[in-house]
Amino acid sequence: MKRLAILASGSGSNAENIIRYFENHESIKVTSIVTNRKEAKVLERAKKLNVPAEYFPKKAFLEEEIVLDHLLKNADYVILAGFLLKIPQNIVDAYPDKIINIHPALLPKFGGKGMYGMNVHTAVKEQGETETGITIHFVNENYDEGAIIFQAKTAVSASDSPEDIANNIHQLEYAHFPKVIEEALL
């Protein structure tokens, strides 16, 4: 059984989608949710779905081994689903090509520090892009520069607001992220 830890900082809608996808899977199981925000809604979702969840403050990620120890005990792979901290080098080193992230744009466009969530969708709109999408990629020591596993595109019309773009991106995330994780692990 391949064990997944999902790292999330926000509402956890992608985390829930992944948990539900693998609920009855014969060889992949979500065994842990980890967050860096005490008030993150993902903690409520994890409780509702009976998945163990842990909160670790930013300092624990950046200056201590406690998060790495937790992950090594509970997970073979790490999935980032709206996680807003850069993954520390000790975790990257412990999980080479075993940390998978989803980014709400077609990398290398609109990637890097500060490019997440509505920041990305607003930038896509402001740049007048005619398409955007999602990128699922392995994580390395740099923001959004790991090897690309999968991309999916969606059109952007001139009348789309950043919120419209976000809704279209969420649909791509829900449709593709769990399946791409499964394919990458099997």
Nearest CA among 165, 174, 158, 100 for reference residue 133? 165
The mean of the pLDDT values for the chain is 96
SS3 84: coil
* CATH superfamily of domain region 1-95: Formyl transferase, N-terminal domain (3.40.50.170)
Q: How far apart are CA 8 and CA 68, in angstroms?
A: 15
Q: What does the domain layout of the chain look like in residue ranges?
A: 1-95
Q: Look at residue 186 in the predicted model and tell me its pLDDT.
A: 87
32's tokens: 């842990």
Active site residue 103: yes
113-132 pLDDT, tens digit each: 899 999 999 999 999 999 99
Round to whole Å and give the CA distance between 87 and 47.
Answer: 24
**Region label for 110, one of left (φ > 0), alpha (ψ between -120 and 50) or beta (otherwise):** left
Note the pLDDT tens digit of each residue in 167-176. 999 999 999 9
Q: Give the model's pLDDT for residue 62.
A: 87
Read out DSSP for 107-176?
Answer: TTTT-STT--HHHHHHHHHHTT-SEEEEEEEE--SSTT-SPEEEEEEEE--TT--HHHHHHHHHHHHHHH
Enter the DSSP assignment of 24: T
The band of 64, judged by pLDDT with boundaries at 50, 70 and 90, is confident
Q: In the prediction, which pLDDT does 167 show?
A: 97
Catalytic one among 25, 103, 121, 137?
A: 103
21 φ, ψ to 5°? -60, -40
Task: Report whether 165 contacts 173 (CB < 8 A).
Answer: no
Q: Please write the tens of the pLDDT for every residue from 95-108.
A: 999 999 999 999 99
